[in-house]
Each structure stands twice: as structure tokens, then as C-alpha cells.
Amino acid sequence: MQWISRQSYFLDYALSSLLRRKWKNFSLIFIYGLIIFMISSVLFFSEAIRKEAEFILEDAPPMIVQRILAGRHELIPETYMTQIQEIRGIYKVTPRLWGYYYHPASKANYTIMVGNNGPQNDDEITIGNGVLRTWGTISDNQLFFKAYDGETIVLNITDTLDASAELVSSDLILVSESTFRRLFGVPEGFSTDFEVHIRNLSECPVIADKIVRILPDTRPILKEEIERTYASLFDWRSGYIIVLLSGAVLAFFIFAWDKATGLSAEEKAEIGILKALGWDTSDILLLKFWEGIAICFTAFVPAVIGAYIHIFLASAPLFEHALKGWSILYPEFQLNPHINAYQLGVVFALTVLPYTLITIIPAWRVSTTDPDTVMRQF
């Protein structure tokens, strides 16, 4: 009980001490909060986007087979399906039709594909939320497309896609097979690629080898390879931002160190008075610890909430281009919140602990001198 009471006295004194130097501490909290906001934003963003990718890949087939011509992805003849299906271990091969459509009015690329749950009629489409937000020329629930040969095709929106995986569904437009072929000029008997379903997933690499041996102009892509690519891509991107931010973080700590080591004459005198009144070094350090904690949390909590709003409600306008895109034309989308204790722990460890330490050291240096010495200097 006495311990709690003692802590509450020190905390009370620490808060009163901070309020007495409110302008100095306000500027410190503002800059500190800004750094925490940036770091949190990067971590929240990269984690959320990684989760989105994981979510998307959950239902992905274990293998995709594409045809490669002169090192580039080419339409694959559906006759290849028969040869692939004959390989032992494969129980289903499904052709896929997908491609990108550039819409000049919205200056964005959209993904168009033929989906299993897509529209049945040729004049109907199902679209993602991002399409609704960005297309810009929707009238009477109709979208106008220009086909490969210049013909205008008018399609009716009949449904929108679930927003739970916006990373993929945001820019997605589902069409019927014949509409797709008419829009892009893909001839009958050809697909974009194949989904290959395998009974025993551990055999995927062996089956991939067999496919390449039978059909040397194909490239099997395993689900785990895509997962690895996504993970390294987002790790690299968030690392890139953190490297850029590290300069700002360093500048902050130099600023904080300067503030902290440059204890004002008034602060030094106050420490001397407290020591003369019977406080010992550990009491002073405890006081400075509480001051540090108060500053950290005053900066930390609003900064983390701000980062949450920035990333999940405002679509990360500050660095979406650096982190999101394969293409700057990629339409806007909103991420679903994914925050865990580990992320918050990382932000805490990167920001709060170093600050608390660097502010305690100068206080310790002053508080270990005799109170008489400290007081005679002023």
C-alpha cells in the first residue's frame, strides 16, 4: 500500500513538473508523436497488406500454369489441359481468363476476369468497391468499355463484391466468358492460364517438374512461391520506408537527447532542492522515469490512434504510393484493420524505451552529485 502511495506521489509530482514546463514538453511530445505516428503507420500498413495477401491466397489453387513465349506471359492453348490432366496426382485443371483494362477517364487499371460466381448473362458485370469509387462515369448502373477493336460495349452492374479482401476485389470486374473474349479479342480455345489442383500438396514441386518436361514452353507457379514473393515484397517495401524514416527517428533522438542532457538551470536547481530535502538519487530517477513515461504515453497513444485512422480510415495518403502499388494507376482501396500486440510491442520498443533511457541518464548525472554542489551553482 505504501509502495502504491509512494508511486502516486512521484507520478503526481512528475505530472505537475511537466505542466510547469508545458511549452518545452508540448514541442517534445509533438515531434515525438509524429515519429511514433510514422513508424506505427508503416507497421500497420505493411501488416494489414500482408494479411490481405494471406487472405487472398487462402483460396488460391496450389499451382498456376502459364505459357511463356519469348520470356513473356502468353495465352495458353486449352489443348494443353489434356496433357496436364494426364499427370498422376492432378485431379482438376481449370482454365482462367483474366486481364487488365485501362480506363482513361479514371486513369486507372482495372482487373477483368471471368469468375465462377460472376454474372451469367453477357451484358452483366459484378464489380469491386474500388471500381464504384473511381470509375467516374457510371450512369444508370452501366459501365462503358472500349473493346480491343474499338467497339463500345455497355455492361450492367448487377452486384458488388465482398469488401473483406479489398486488395484484390477493389479493382475487380467480373464478366462472362464470351464478354471477356469479345472485350480483349481472346480467341476460343485459349486461356490466360490454368489453375491446377493437386491431391497431395507435398507433390507440387514434382508435378511442376513433370509439366515443364511435357510442355517446355510453360511455367508452373506454386502457391508457396507467390506467398514468399508477397511476403518479401511487403517486407522490402516497409523496410524501405523505415530506412527513410530512420533519419527522422535519429533526428528525434538527437533532439530528445539535447533536450534531456541540456537540463535547464531551473531543473538542475530543482533536483538539488529535492535532494537537500531528503530525496535520494533513486527517488529522483523514479521521478524522471514517471516524467518519461508520461511524455511517452501522451505521445504514444494519440500517435497510434492517429496512425490507425491514417491507415484504415483515410487510406494512408502519406505513403500509399511507396507501399501499395505495383502501379501508380492502381485504384484506391481501404485496408481492413489488422493490429496485434506484437506490432504495438515493436512500436513501443522502438520509441518508448530508448526515450525513457536517454532522459534518465542526464537526470542521474545531476542527482548523483551532492545537493550542496548542485545548489551552489545557482
Partner 1 sequence: MIELKQITKIFNEGKSNEFTALRDIELTLSPEKLTVFKGPSGSGKTTLLSIIGCMSRPTSGRILMNDREITSLPERFTAEIRRHTFGFIFQNYNLIKGMTVLENTMIPAYPEGPDYQGLKKRALDLLQRLGIDSKTNQKVEYLSGGEQQRAAIARALINNPSCIIADEPTAHLDTDLALALVDIMADFKKEGKTILIASHDPLIFEATAVDRIITLRDGAVIDQGNVS
Grid coordinates belonging to 19: 505542466
* Other residues' Cβ atoms within 10 Å of the Cβ of residue 228: 11
Q: Between 9 and 308, name the residue whose CB sits nearer to partner 1.
A: 9
Among 104, 150, 216, 278, which residue interacts with partner 1 (rule: CB under 8 A)?
278
CA distances from 38 to 127, 297, 350 (A): 33, 16, 12
Q: Between 8 and 137, name the residue whose CB sits nearer to partner 1.
A: 8
Q: Between 15 and 245, name the residue whose CB sits nearer to partner 1.
A: 15
DSSP 186: P
Q: Between 235 and 372, name the residue whose CB sits nearer to partner 1.
A: 372
Number of residues forming the site for partner 1 (CB under 8 A): 33
Among 247, 277, 326, 341, which residue interacts with partner 1 (rule: CB under 8 A)?
277
Grid coordinates belonging to 361: 541518464
Which residue type is seen at 244?
A: L
Give the position of cell 512521484: 10
Query: According to the binding rule CB under 8 A, does residue 23 interact with partner 1?
Result: no
In the complex, minimum distance from the CB of residue 13 to partner 1, in angstroms, rounded to a whole number: 6
Query: According to the binding rule CB under 8 A, does residue 274 interact with partner 1?
Result: yes
Q: Between 12 and 209, name the residue whose CB sits nearer to partner 1.
A: 12
DSSP of 207-276, one letter per residue? Answer: HHHHHHHH-TTEEEEEHHHHHHHHHHHHHHHHHHHHHHHHHHHHHHHHHHHHHHHS--HHHHHHHHHHHH
Query: According to the binding rule CB under 8 A, does residue 270 interact with partner 1?
Result: yes
Q: Which residues of 313-324 are buried (b: 16+ CB within 10 A; e: fewer)?
A: eeebebbbeebb
Query: According to the binding rule CB under 8 A, does residue 190 interact with partner 1?
Result: no
DSSP of 12-56, one letter per residue? Answer: HHHHHHHHHTHHHHHHHHHHHHHHHHHHHHHHHHHHHHHHHHHHH
In the complex, minimum distance from the CB of residue 22 to partner 1, in angstroms, rounded to a whole number: 10
Q: Which range touches partner 1 (CB under 8 A), out of 165-173, 190-198, 226-234, 369-377?
A: 369-377
Among 77, 89, 115, 371, which residue interacts with partner 1 (rule: CB under 8 A)?
371
Q: Which of residues 279-338 bind partner 1 (CB under 8 A)?
A: 279-283
Q: Which residues bind partner 1 (CB under 8 A)?
A: 2-10, 13, 16, 19-20, 266, 269-270, 273-283, 368, 370-373, 375
